[in-house]
Every structure is written in structure tokens, then in C-alpha cells.
A and B are shown apart, each in its own frame.
Chain A
């Protein structure tokens, strides 16, 4: 793949110099450490707000609640961030003419797309890793210490889920010259995946279906079949990138 190294270096530098990586890392870390905190103190806050007049029975929070909050909060914030990061990645450079300028140098279109997607993945991955360290520490302090390897495995599955949604939006960004339209395609794809996930037997293989084994992995319980959903989602990312390339290689820039 001609020019992948320099293009990837340019992408990573851009993610850092435009402060995208820093800002996403701060946002994810806030959600990462905020999740166990909320899991621990929300029942007490509800009780305090309800006062003595209402008798509310809330079971004491457990480490499961902390992992659940972590997955839910970072899942939602992460999907939104993945869409925001990917929506303008190719579309804006096509609109500004930067893509044509870059590809006038010895670099293939496949390398250009792969470098862009790897840049987005790096931002999501680094940010999620920092958030996971914070979330792990807060969970250990407020509840109990889970296995760091299991927590890392959960984070890995969460990252894969975000990368699938980023790849969906990335395809949209390749198809159009408008970042808003790209976001629309990304969100439309997410809805489509959610609908497909309702079909019997398909749900566990969708990106959203990764959250159940991720939760089980974090808690060290039986995660069931992880390899199938893992390979399916990796294949989905590869497939979306391949379609992006098929579209992009014939486009007039």
C-alpha cells in the first residue's frame, strides 16, 4: 500500500495537533471515572432527594452496576464521538480539495482511506484506554478490584463496537462531500444495524451485541461465544472499509 506510513504519521499528528485526541481523551476519562461514581452514589442521592416522605427500596449497588454504567455511558458517548470524528474525515478534505492535493503525491487511495480510519481508531483507542484505567481505579476504590485483564478485554470489545460505528460513518463520509450527510448515513446505518439485531439469533453478532460478552468478561463470568461476534464485527469493519475504497477509487476529486 503506497504511502501508508507517511499518511498515517500525518493523520496521527493531525489528531494530536488539532487537540482532537486530547479533548476526546478528557471526555472519555470523565465518563470513565464518573460511571462507577454514579453507580455508587445514585441510590443515596435518590434517597436523599426523596426525603422521609417516600419509602424507596433500592438494592445496594454492586460492582456489576459499576461495570454496567461504564459500558452504557462510554458506549453512548463513544458512539456519538465516533460519528463526530468520522463524519468529516474524508468529506471535508474532498470539499476543500486537500484530498486531491494529498493524492497527487505518491500515495494510493487505499492508503489514504486506511490512514484516516487508523487515525480515528487511534484517537478512540488511546482515549478509551485512559478512561478504562480511570474507571478501573474508581471501581476498585468504590467497590472491589476486578481482574485488570478482564477489564481490558471488556474495553477491547467496547473499542471494536465504536470502530464499527466509526466505519459506518466513514463510509458515509466517503460517499458524500458533506459531513452532515455523512453523519446521516452513519446514524441511518446504526438504526439499520439495531433493526437487524432484533432478528432471532442475529443480535449477538451486531456491534450492540458485543456489550453482553463485554460485561461478562469484566465480571469474570461466562461470556459464552465471544469469538463469533468478535470476528463478525472485525469483518464488518473490513467490509465497510472495502466498500469505502470501492467507492472512493472511482471518485473524481
Chain B
């Protein structure tokens, strides 16, 4: 097994992870977005560091008016 061999299989996983993070950060940085606790930086860290579940937790519980 070499890294070059598994890279094509890893790319979709990386794309999914980045897409999830991107969707979360895009939503978070909307000017009209209000978040629980009022601190967007904390939610940004949850999205970026929370791997797959971070953005999920943000979308379910992070937004104030949804």
C-alpha cells in the first residue's frame, strides 16, 4: 500500500469533510446570522475542530432563529 494508491479513495472523504466545514462556515459568517451564546468564534471552532459532528451540532443547535 502506498500513499499514491489510496489517495484517489481518500479524496472523496476529504471533499466531504471540507464541504461540511465550508457549508457551516458560510452559514456562520452570514451578516444576519445570530448564534446561541452570541459568540461566532466559539461556533467557528466547533465547526472547524468538531470534525464531522461539529457542523452537525452547529446546524442543529448553534443558530438562534432557526
Contact = CB atoms under 8 A, between A and B. Distances in A.
Same assembly = yes
B61 to A, nearest CB: 7
A44 B52 contact: no
A27 B23 CA distance: 12
A81 B24 CA distance: 17
Contacts of A141: 9
Contact of B61 (A33, A88, A138): A88
A34 interface: yes
B57 interface: yes
A44 B60 CA distance: 37
> What's the interface size class on A, roughly?
20 to 34
Q: What secondary structure prevails in chain A residues at the interface with B?
A: helix
B42 to A, nearest CB: 18
Contacts of B19: 26
Contacts of B55: 23, 27
A30 B61 contact: no
Contacts of B23: 19, 22-23, 26
Nearest to A45: B1
A84 B56 contact: yes
A236 B6 CA distance: 43
Nearest to B6: A41
Interface of B: 1, 6, 9-10, 12-13, 16-17, 19-20, 23-24, 27, 52-53, 55-57, 59-61, 63, 66
7 contacts: A26-B23, A27-B20, A37-B6, A37-B13, A44-B1, A84-B61, A141-B9
